[in-house]
Amino acid sequence: MAYFPINISVPLSGAFDGLRFLECDPDDDEISTDSDVDFVVGDPEDGAHEVTNHPEALWLAPGIALHDVTILYTEVRPESQAKRLRLSGNLLKKTQDLTFIRTLIDHSWVDEFIPFLTRLHGVRTLHLESLSWGCLSAAARACLLSSFRHITTLWIENVDFWNSWQLLRTLDAFPQLKVLRIVKVNYTFDNCATHQTSSSIPLQLGALSITETRRLRPILKWILGMRSDIVVNKAQLSLESIEVDVLVELLRAVAPNIRRLHYIQRIEHPEGCCVDPLCHILGDEDQDNGPAFARLNSRVPPEDSYESAKDMLKEPLECPWLESIFADIWWSGSDLDSGDPDILAVEILCHLISPRTTSFRLNIVMKDPQRFLSTNWAKLDDALSQMEERPAGYERPLLLIVLDGDFATAEVTLENRLRKTIERGVFSVYLDGAEVYDDPGTATRVAS
């Protein structure tokens, strides 16, 4: 049995350990994992990599010689044999000053492979990893965006695109995508053009995964575009910012066909900074020459985003199809000026429930007692208790409150905080692994 590669890191206990979510049908499109490609990789510190397997899967990285790759095809043609290509640079996983780090990156080794890459017409899976887009030569960027237009699976991981125009330009280069995975993608300057977020070309994805990527608005606007047909069968979406309106817009758009959703929310509030556009422009961006190329200001005030999302949640969904929802929310426990992002996330998830939903599991992770005590439990109780009861024979949704911090001196109870939810029985409620019943005292945990 094949699985959609979702890593669930929420600490759980008891019968819930090892849950596999978003399990794929064997004939579904899937996102490739490292196990799909048999490579031997050298010490990452010295950049040595060695390709040792069959010519159907290539992993190009610093230290690999063109000669060592071409000898794999002494008896076969690369354009007919190579099906998967992974291109890995040496971009650091965690960087504080990208403008400085970019001066230390050398991707010139890719240029040697350009004539060879243009021959790989049979590649259907492309994995771009650990690259600084502006440190690739213009010729290398053009090669990657023009030589693989027939790929059906695109995996972009730990890539610094410098600006959002380059990011959306990359997504536009692959019109036949069936599987899209975006992990740890970054850009500094937001300059995407109107025409990049207004495509009318249908988009049909068997699987979509966007995680550990803070600024989602341009990506989600690209997916939405002006398309009359958007299909996403399975999705994993991670929200790290409080601009949630475009996420609600996307979920509503795909509601008629999406079957499985893994939602992750872990909002952080980094300090803002001034951006000098000249430091993040590569020189091959389109120039403004009309309304279609007008630069979008994708920065939406948090309060406007919040209110827009709330307004959309008042409208009924069109033929929702979701069968399974799995959600991880790292609770902030704070009610911001723009609204409460924690409660809003719960409202969004409950909004997606349909008569077809057979499995719904919500993990709320509390990192410390302060977050638990400062939570607006009345609002949370209202959001949870208003969900319609499941028909007879359906599994009750699971709500797990996970205490993932030092609660040694804290007394935490739920029977008074989620009274309506517990009394109605719309959720099976668990507090730190123990089920909570409609009986005073059973929802108490006193850590000693």
Tell me the per-residue pLDDT of 37-71, one tens digit each, with 9 for 90 and over.
333 223 333 444 444 446 788 999 998 889 888 88
Q: Tokens for 229, please give them.
A: 């047909």
- Report how far apart, in Å, the C-alpha atoms of 420 and of each of 196, 316, 384, 389, 417 are: 46, 24, 9, 13, 9
Q: What's the CA gap between 437 and 271, in Å, rounded?
A: 42
Of 328, 348, 185, which is closest to residue 264 (Cα–Cα)? 328
Of 368, 446, 387, which is closest to residue 411 (Cα–Cα)? 446
Average pLDDT score over residue span 223-234:
96
Coil vs helix vs strand at 153: strand
CA dihedral 307, 310, 312, 316 (to 10 degrees): -160
Cβ(420)–Cβ(439) below 8 Å: no
Task: Report CA torsion sign: 418, 308, 298, 218.
Answer: positive
- Confidence tier at 76 by pLDDT (50, 70, 90): confident
- Confidence tier at 172 by pLDDT (50, 70, 90): very high
Give all strands (DSSP E) within 186-255, no chain letters.
203-211, 230-239
Q: What's the CA gap between 243 and 305, in Å, rounded?
A: 5
- The separation between CA 201 and the C-alpha centre of its own chain, rounded to angstroms, equals 22
For the chain, state the CA radius of gyration. Answer: 24
| Domain map (residue ranges) of the chain | 49-147, 152-269+288-448
Q: What's the CA gap between 94 and 238, in Å, rounded?
A: 18
Q: What's the CA gap between 127 and 119, in Å, rounded?
A: 17
Residue 189 identity: F
Q: What's phi and psi for 260, nearest 5 deg? A: -135, 135
Count of beta carbons in the 10 Å neighbourhood of residue 259: 16
Place of tokens 């409150």: 401
Alpha helices by DSSP H, listed for 19-124, are 66-70, 78-81, 98-102, 114-117
Reported as a single tens digit per residue, the pLDDT across 3-33 is 233 233 333 333 223 233 333 343 444 443 3
- Confidence tier at 149 by pLDDT (50, 70, 90): very high
pLDDT of residue 289: 58
- Confidence tier at 320 by pLDDT (50, 70, 90): confident
